[in-house]
Chain A
Amino acid sequence: METRPGNTRTSKRTLLLAVCFAGTAFLTGCGGVTDTVSTAVEDSASAIATARLALGQESAGKLTTAAAATALEDSLRELQTSRDSVVRLSPSTPEDRQVRQEALAVLEGCTAGLNTARDSVAGNDGAPSAEDGKQALDEAAGRLSELKTKVGAQ
């Protein structure tokens, strides 16, 4: 591999940097409101599904409490990141604002459901039972799918 004279190398390097810079700019800039909301809903649905699976396995004695607690914690973190992406939205049209409001309400509900599930797994006295945890997650999943059809139809 010969070293080509300096100038073509530096021009090639600046081109590469420009591409990367454009790429990161594109990555962070968010698409339309509905795109962000639908991705957020999708990620939250995945997080809630993980929580339901982990909770089911834990109560069925297939999963240790430590692993279940970690899975639920990761799901909560995933939910919070999607919620933050919706919060950061600044919609211009009234419909977008309405969609964002609704999404935030549903995601709020999911976070509450997830917390109930985490408490049930922690299982210290006075904590909700596994059944309540499961019930809360089912509700959250239901509301998420409703929101998904609504946002999807937009």
Chain B
Amino acid sequence: MILGDLLGRAVHDSDGVKLGRVADARFVVDGAPQQLMAEARLLGLVVSPHSVSSFLGYERTGVTQPWPLPRMLRWRHRGSFLVMWEDIAVMGESVRLREGFTAYSPELVGGPE
């Protein structure tokens, strides 16, 4: 599967209510170790109800400078949430989540450093 097909797709819950669009995909580097780097496993998808894609990710980091910009963009991506791989039922033309999925905060915890 190509990630490019997934980004921007509509996300529905199990009753078909549209929740937003796939803004990003989060991976965690804790899979089986390869020669150089462990495999990056799909942790979940970041879903954003109001905007298509976010390249600056202010809604997932605590960055506040340069002053008005992060606040404006964080407002634009308000309501974004992270949904785990286990809660995803179908990924294709659109993404459907399982019954009673959990919406996690999209906050980036373990940064890439």
Direct contact of A and B (CB under 8 A): yes
Residue ranges of A at the interface with B (Cβ–Cβ < 8 Å): 1-3, 5
Q: 1/0 per residue B73-89: CB within 8 Å of A?
A: 10010000000000000
Cα–Cα distance between A1 and B55 once the two chains are bound (Å): 7
B10-18, B26-34, B37-45, B46-54: which lies at the A interface? B46-54
Which secondary structure dominates chain A's binding surface?
Answer: loop
Which secondary structure dominates chain B's binding surface?
Answer: loop
Instruction: Report the number of A-B residue pairs with Cβ-Cβ less than 8 Å.
Output: 12
Cα–Cα distance between A5 and B54 once the two chains are bound (Å): 13
- Residues of chain B lying within 8 A (CB to CB) of residue A3: 52-53
Task: Determine the residue in chain A with the shortest Cβ distance to B77.
Answer: A2
Cα–Cα distance between A136 and B76 once the two chains are bound (Å): 71
Cα–Cα distance between A47 and B83 once the two chains are bound (Å): 73
Task: Determine the residue in chain B with the shortest Cβ distance to A5.
Answer: B52
A to B CB contacts below 8 Å, 6 in the list? A2-B53, A2-B54, A2-B55, A2-B73, A2-B76, A3-B53
Additional A-B contact list (10), CB under 8 Å, known A2-B53, A5-B52:
A1-B55, A1-B56, A2-B51, A2-B52, A2-B54, A2-B55, A2-B73, A2-B76, A3-B52, A3-B53
